[in-house]
Structure 1
Amino acid sequence: MLKKQVSSAIIIVLCLFLFPTIISANTNEQLELYSEAAILIDAQSGQVLYEKNSQEKLPPASITKIATAIYAIENGNLDDIVTVSENARNAEGTKVYLEAGEQVPLLKLVQGLLINSGNDAGVAIAEHLSGSVDEFVVDFNRYLEEVIGVENTHFTNPHGLYDPDHVTTAEDMAKITQYAMKNETFREIFSTKELPWDGETWDTTLINHHVMVRDGSYEGVTGGKNGFVTEAGFTLVTTANQENISLIAVTMKTMYDNQVYEDTTKLFNYGFQHYETDTIDMNSQFVDSEDNQYKTVENIYYTKKIGEIVEEDVTTSGKLVIKGEDGRKLVEKKLELVTNKEKEKQQIKNETIYQTDDNREQHLRIIIPISLIISFLIAAFFFKQTRKI
């Protein structure tokens, strides 16, 4: 009987130790992906939730157009009328069939670029913004590096047709997309399923080439861009929102079209099943170990495992550090100093010294005259006694 009780106790203890480990391990599972490189990030916090070879430089094909679109939106006037050149008209690959001399609003070209993957629209945009494709490439790469902050990307054209020097990484494409999704105009075009197109020689309805955007086959998809050239294989960028989290998935270099969608589905399932995003509102107050008071100057987003309890700590240098249950750093943000206790103490000390000096001065003002009077009276008394003698 005793042996059975001991055995039961051992089993219970083992279960208590093992089950938390199993639950934790679920968030570190290895996904079987066809893509040579892939990444999943939280769209608000930018935290990487899953990656595979995400810093490997690869040809991106038409997902390049995400970068071209946000560059055009931010650096051009979308109401401008663009005159299409012969060079743009003759662009290779997928087109919206622009004609040389045709005049098209810049906004319409960006729509044709993203929704129908028009290479001719990309060339027309580049020539309008910078005068030539070559000059555009210089301006474009500077923008990607200095404004968005990519480190492993170099583009040689606005559309993604293969060039050995036209490369990026899954990580950089996720960063570019995260940046672009902050722009309302970009988000609207990126999510468009179909659009009537009234061109000079081509009247049609543009249908978004991204299957998940087009048919709503995955719940919460908010936008996307696909790509293909032989050297790059199939590439895909997709954004999606569900409940308490927004995700960006990038998959690069698969052999078959369906594989990038399968990989994207696996990444989204993984992210939505395991993670959630929390927010610390702007002007939230924090205190460090020395009682200095700080506040947030913007909303701070961080992504954690669903139900995870996090630890918040403010360093004496004024940084808010949020860590997960396993000690991993989720976010680190600089806070604004509101109250400096050390300065307050010094100020109080200085005021005390000043008050002490002031009191001493007031005492002296009283004591000195009184002392003089007393001295005078004493002197007069002794003088009077001397005369009596």
Structure 2
Amino acid sequence: MRIVTVGIIVLIILLFFPSIGQAKPEISGQNAILMEQSTGRVLFEKNAHDPESIASITKIMTAIIAIESGKMQEKAKTSRKAIYTEGSSIYLEQGEKMTINDLVYGLMLRSGNDAAVAISEHIGGSEEGFVYLMNEKAKWLGMNHTHFDNPHGLDSDSHYSSAYDMAILMSYAMKNKTFRKITGAQSYLSENRTYSWQNKNKLLTQYYDYCTGGKTGYTKKTGRTLVSSAEKDGMSLIAVTLDAPDDWRDHIQMFEWGFTNYDMEKIAEEKSISFKLNESSKVMSGYMQDDIAYPLTDKEKAKVTNQLYIVKDASEITSERIGKNVFYLDGKEIAETDVLRNEQKLEQRKTIFESFISLLQQVVGVGVKW
């Protein structure tokens, strides 16, 4: 009878106080963040902007620079410096030639420090030259609490980043098709090897079905670091933990909390709109050019507002952009979309259609009339 009574009490609590069952994650990491990938909205954070040692999650930057270099099919020759780099390795031999593509797989799946140096020397001309590219890329991405000393992440007093900066980097990298393919691979067989490399990211290979990629890291000084990505119900999340002894659990807990409490809500759609510049002016038409989805809780969905801003002389100017539609949550701007002249939007479509008809005429060899 007592057990039944306790069960009823728990049920009542969950029904009338659901927030208790949706408490924010308790994270073992000293630093953590959960970010929605497409918008950059931070859903959860813990000391997210503090600069810390990051270990091998550094290699996300090394990988994306290598991919964007356009040299993935070139072969890099392994130097003596590369093979004697301490720490995790894919066991390159001095003088061995391996494609950058294979090296990036070895970098991301097996965390090869020798692969990191071989990549950096080939693409940057030297390890120092490549590190310069890493820091320039970090500045360009707005990673304001980041500085790289090397391409692999071995400890250095001036090699650091923050959970927030690493989430920015991973969000950017995941937009690249090749990067997504590599980080999401459970294994890979290099043309230079007779055995496959298995991915060290156990979230991807064992623990979490929704995981789409990531990178592990560890040194004795830094502790365990982890960046991971997951996708469920049309929402993509990025999680980062630094110095987290229970990082697999941390990431699963953050992902599940995020997927439970947030939905990607469409707040704007591509469509024609009508408006007046003032009470006495005639009705004008425009075109909102973007579909916008934003991660929102159930309570937040009703709080999103928008404001349409149109330039004063919209009826006279000839430019395509005549204004913008800005969206707010609790008074804070969260997104915006341009408002275009409806006529120009239609003209663009007409031009595309006419180009298609012209191409069809060339292929078929006869005139096409509509």
TM interval, short-chain normalised: 0.7 to 0.9
In the TM superposition, 1:128-167 aligns within 5 A as 128-146=122-140, 148-167=141-160
- Relative distance call for 1:278 and 1:124 in structure 2 (3 A) is same
Go from structure 1 to structure 2 and tell me whether the alpha carbon gap of 1:302 and 1:92 turns closer, same or farther (over 3 Å shift): same
CA separation in 1, counterparts of 2:103 and 2:74? 11
**2:196 — aligned with what?**
205
Give yes or no for the alignment of 1:331 onto 2:330: no
Q: How does 1:46-57 map to 2 (within 5 A)?
A: 46-57=40-51
- 1:279 shift after superposition: 3.9
5+ residue gaps, structure 2, are 1-11, 278-282, 311-322, 344-370
The verdict on how the C-alpha distance between 1:287 and 1:100 changes in structure 2, with shifts beyond 3 A counting, is farther
Deviation for aligned residue 1:328: 5.5
The answer to whether the 8 A contact 2:309-2:325 is kept is no
- Matching of residue 228 in structure 1 with residue 231 in structure 2: no
Aligned partners of 1:302 and 1:330 also within 8 Å: no
- The reply to whether residue 239 of structure 1 matches residue 229 of structure 2 is yes
- For 1:335, the aligned partner's letter is D
User: Do residues 320 (structure 1) and 307 (structure 2) align?
Assistant: no
Q: Is the 8 A contact 1:40 1:250 kept in 2?
A: yes
- Following superposition, the deviation at residue 151 of structure 1 comes to 1.4
Paired-residue identity, % = 35
Cα distance between partner residues in 2 of 1:320 and 1:298: 10
Q: Is 1:108 aligned to 2:113, yes or no?
A: no
Residues 319 and 332, structure 1, Cα contact 8 Å, conserved in 2:
no
Q: Letter of the aligned partner of 2:219 in structure 1?
A: V
State the match for 1:214 in structure 2.
205
Q: Secondary structure at the match of 1:224?
A: strand
Structure 1 position 276 matched with structure 2 position 276: no
Q: Which residue of 1 aligns with 2:188?
A: 195
Distance 1:267 1:58, change over 3 A: same
From the superposition, tell whether residues 168 and 339 of structure 1 become closer, same or farther in structure 2 (CA, over 3 Å): same
Q: Could you say what secondary structure the match of 2:257 adopts?
A: helix
SS of residue in 2 equivalent to 1:204: coil
Are the structure 2 counterparts of residues 163 and 198 from structure 1 closer, same or farther at C-alpha, using a change threshold of 3 Å? same
Q: In the aligned structure 2, how far is the partner of 1:32 from the partner of 1:331?
A: 27
**Residue 295 and residue 100 in structure 1: after superposition, are their counterparts in 2 closer, same or farther (change >3 A)?**
farther
Report the CA distance between 1:44 and its aligned residue. 1.6
Aligned counterparts, 1:1-389, within 5 A = 22=17, 29-146=23-140, 148-199=141-192, 203-215=194-206, 217-254=207-244, 256=245, 259-279=246-266, 283-286=270-273, 290=277, 293-306=285-298, 308-316=301-309, 318-324=323-329, 327=330, 329=332, 331-338=334-341
Measure how far apart 1:281 and its partner are.
Answer: 6.8
**Structure 1 residues 289, 118: closer, same or farther in 2, change over 3 A?**
farther
Q: Which amino acid aligns with 2:153?
A: G
In 1, the alpha carbon distance for the partners of 2:117 and 2:194 equals 20
CA contact (8 A) 1:170 1:251 kept: yes
- In structure 1, list runs of 5 or more residues that go unmatched: 1-14, 341-389
Structure 1 length-normalised TM: 0.74
1:246 Cα offset (Å): 1.2
Question: How far apart in 2 are the matches of 1:289 and 1:253?
Answer: 56
How far did residue 26 of structure 1 move?
Answer: 7.0
C-alpha separation between the residues in 2 aligned to 1:288 and 1:262? 51
TM-score by structure 2 length?
Answer: 0.77
Q: Structure 1: how far apart are the matches of 2:334 and 2:286?
A: 17
The residue type paired with residue 305 of structure 1 is T
Which amino acid is the alignment partner of residue 130 of structure 2?
F
C-alpha contact (below 8 Å) 1:155/1:165 kept by paired residues: yes
Mark the structure with the bigger radius of gyration.
Answer: 1
Number of positions where the alignment pairs a residue of Structure 1 with one of Structure 2? 312
Alignment root-mean-square deviation, CA: 2.6
Counterpart secondary structure, 2:56: helix
8 Å contact kept, 2:24–2:257: no
What are the Cα deviations for residues 157-182 of structure 1, in whole angstroms up to 9, with x where unaligned?
11111111111111111110010001
